[in-house]
Amino acid sequence: MPGCPVTRFYRKTAIRVKRRRPRAEYIALVKAETRSFYVRVVQGVIEHVAQHLDEALALDALATRACLSPFHFHRVFRGMVGETPVELARRLRMERGAWQLANTPLSVTEIAFNAGFETHEAFTRAFRSCYGEPPSDFRRRGVRRTELAATCGVHFDQRGVVPPFVPRDSGGRTMDVEIKKMPEQRVAAVRHVGPYNQIGQAFGRLGEIAGPAGLFTNPNAAMIALYHDDPESTPADELRSDAGVAVASGVALPNELAEHRLPAGRYAKTVHVGSYEKLGDTWARFLGEWLPESGERLRDGPSYERYVNDPRTTPKERLITEIYVPIEGQ
């Protein structure tokens, strides 16, 4: 984010390094600094979550701590950690509950409330799902392991110690990404409010309006989806997105369509091949694994998906979706 002091520090560092180093060494150092930046801010958020388990998560505040927009922050965090901040807090509270069962005289009901559950019964169901037995049986056993599986390597520690997390690697670091300079794009769209996986309803409405208006006749009339909220931190029925079509400047738009402008600039582009249901996994690898290793930094602006083929006539396994993320630079 432009106003972030950490961002300003790394920009100044990169300028000094570039002046003093050969290009190949400069690129390697910038990549190392970029990865260090993302690891550092994510580690800071993990420590905040782990050390404030009894406090409600202010997700926008966490994004601010990471110097990222909420939309991008949650995808970077999930991609690097393998969990969302909410999932991390929930797991650590459950591990704390298991530790309290094994090491304190607290009642199961007290432990359930400490773990964020409203009832003893809800805690018991969740605990059995995690540990394979109810809390009372867990407490009676002599040898107990309280840690739940987590690729990041961070677990509850009664001393408040938070170790360095292990960044996730599921192939995203080597995914095929192209850096492109994109012109400004004009998009005519229908607003959708609700779960993102129901945006097809808005695309249906878009077709009913844009089709008769001739907006699909332009050869560059790509179908585009803009996503404005993070699904990890926003209630599903409040998520805002837009189902749109790219249109040329000067083309008159029907009153029912809103106009959006995608800014010109550098974008990182990757391609998802397959069903739309698995797009979230590609987003996680893209922002959580590729980005920290790339040497690139996000800039303010919307990310978007561009749909290359028609889901009505294309088998799911052959659907092609281009994902674009705005990055800094000229």
pLDDT in tens, 182-203: 999 999 999 999 888 778 889 9
If one compares 250 and 33, the residue with the highest pLDDT of the two is 250
Question: Residue 17's pLDDT is what?
Answer: 44
Q: What is the band of 150 on the pLDDT scale with cuts at 50, 70, 90?
A: confident
138: helix, coil or strand? helix
Tens digits of residue pLDDT in 251-296: 999 999 999 999 999 999 999 999 887 888 888 889 888 998 888 8
- Topology (CATH) of 174-326: Multidrug-efflux Transporter 1 Regulator Bmrr; Chain A (3.20.80)
Q: What is the band of 113 on the pLDDT scale with cuts at 50, 70, 90?
A: very high
Give yes or no for residue 231 having a pLDDT over 90: no
Question: Residue 38's pLDDT is what?
Answer: 87
Q: What is the mean pLDDT of the chain?
A: 85
**Same fold: 86-140 with 174-326:** no
Nearest to 41 by CA among 9, 18, 87, 86: 9
Q: What is the band of 50 on the pLDDT scale with cuts at 50, 70, 90?
A: very high
Tens digits of residue pLDDT in 198-225: 788 899 999 999 999 999 988 778 999 9
User: What ranges do the domains of the chain cover?
Assistant: 86-140, 174-326
If one compares 244 and 196, the residue with the highest pLDDT of the two is 244
Give yes or no for residue 14 having a pLDDT over 60: no
Q: Can you read off the two tokens belonging to residue 36? A: 């260090």
Q: Can you read off the two tokens belonging to residue 318? A: 């052959």
Do residues 246 and 187 lie in contact, with contact meaning Cβ atoms separated by under 8 Å?
Answer: yes
- Topology (CATH) of 86-140: Arc Repressor Mutant, subunit A (1.10.10)
Give yes or no for residue 3 having a pLDDT over 70: no
Lowest mean pLDDT among 115-124, 169-178, 265-274: 169-178
Nearest to 149 by CA among 167, 135, 131, 137: 131
Give yes or no for residue 4 having a pLDDT over 60: no
Question: Residue 31's pLDDT is what?
Answer: 66
Helix (H) or strand (E) holding 305: strand 304-307
Percent of the residues in the chain that have a pLDDT greater than 70, as a whole number: 89
If one compares 233 and 146, the residue with the highest pLDDT of the two is 146
Lowest mean pLDDT among 11-25, 146-160, 239-253: 11-25
75, amino acid identity: R
Question: Residue 135's pLDDT is what?
Answer: 93
Question: Residue 46's pLDDT is what?
Answer: 95
If one compares 196 and 122, the residue with the highest pLDDT of the two is 122
18's CB contacts (< 8 A; 6+ apart) are 26, 30
Give yes or no for residue 54 having a pLDDT over 60: yes
The mean per-residue pLDDT over the stretch 30-36 comes to 71
As a whole number of Å, the end-to-end CA separation of the chain is 16
Do residues 269 and 323 lie in contact, with contact meaning Cβ atoms separated by under 8 Å?
Answer: yes
Give yes or no for residue 139 having a pLDDT over 70: yes
The mean per-residue pLDDT over the stretch 235-259 comes to 91
Question: Residue 229's pLDDT is what?
Answer: 81
219, amino acid identity: P
